[in-house]
């Protein structure tokens, strides 16, 4: 069977006139006539041409795919580069301790930072251990406030803390650093416990 594997391909290359003339014969001839002189060279030329066309199609497809990849990659890269975030510009405008405005064991420091045109207030607070004789300092619910030079007050953060803890927190003010007058820590009733002027 392996000897006949190439036969269908060769028969497909026989021109129609030759095939019809063989099929029109009623009885097979006693001897097989020799093939036309140009049949085998013509078949070989056609096979070679098919192989070349296939090779060129493969090369052309690879080139087209590479060109398409480059075309797609360029706008994507440009799009990503165009959406990069601006550089962070951070400047400390004021900092220091908050001073007690009443009898309180809380200690705190603050820092006003200008970040790309916005104002952030960072705060560090330390709370003493609880006293068994006095449970007033067991748990605090406190808030951080800022007062502007025009008198407007804003709450930037609120938190609950237990005795013996240390917290770091922050809040963003709607005013510029130059418009802030004070930073304060208040208790639940609104009483100012610690404050610092700017």
Q: Which residue has the higher pLDDT, 24 or 2?
A: 24
What are 95-109's pLDDT values in tens digits?
999 999 999 888 999
Does the pTM surpass 0.75? The reply is: no
Q: Which residue has the higher pLDDT, 83 or 95?
A: 95
Q: Which pLDDT score, from 0 to 100, does residue 196 have?
A: 94
3-state secondary structure of 114: strand
CATH fold of 90-197 reads Immunoglobulin-like (2.60.40)
Q: Which pLDDT score, from 0 to 100, does residue 27 have?
A: 57
Q: Domain ranges in the chain?
A: 2-82, 90-197
Q: How far is CA 153 from CA 38, 98, 145, 192, in A?
A: 104, 17, 7, 13
pLDDT at 61 over 50: yes
Of 136, 153, 139, 164, which Cα lies nearest the Cα of 195?
A: 153
Distance CA 45, CA 39 (A): 10
Distance CA 48, CA 54 (A): 10
Q: Which pLDDT score, from 0 to 100, does residue 122 have?
A: 93
């Amino acid at each position: 069977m392996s000897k006949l594997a190439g036969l269908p391909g060769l028969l497909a290359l026989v021109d129609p006139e030759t095939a019809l003339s063989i099929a029109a014969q009623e009885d097979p001839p006693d001897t097989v006539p020799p093939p036309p002189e140009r049949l085998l060279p013509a078949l070989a030329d056609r096979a070679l041409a098919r192989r070349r066309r296939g090779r060129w199609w493969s090369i052309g497809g690879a080139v087209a795919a590479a060109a398409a990849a480059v075309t797609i990659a360029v706008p994507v890269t440009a799009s990503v580069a165009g959406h990069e975030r601006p550089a962070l510009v951070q400047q400390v405008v004021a900092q220091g301790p908050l001073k007690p405005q009443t009898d309180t064991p809380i200690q705190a420091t603050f820092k006003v930072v200008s970040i790309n045109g916005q104002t952030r207030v960072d705060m560090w607070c330390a709370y003493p251990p609880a006293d068994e004789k006095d449970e007033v300092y067991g748990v605090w619910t406190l808030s951080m406030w800022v007062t502007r030079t025009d008198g407007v007050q804003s709450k930037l953060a609120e938190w609950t803390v237990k005795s013996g803890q240390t917290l770091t927190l922050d809040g963003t003010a709607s005013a510029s650093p130059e418009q802030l007058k004070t930073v304060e820590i208040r208790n639940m009733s609104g009483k100012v416990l610690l404050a610092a002027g700017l």
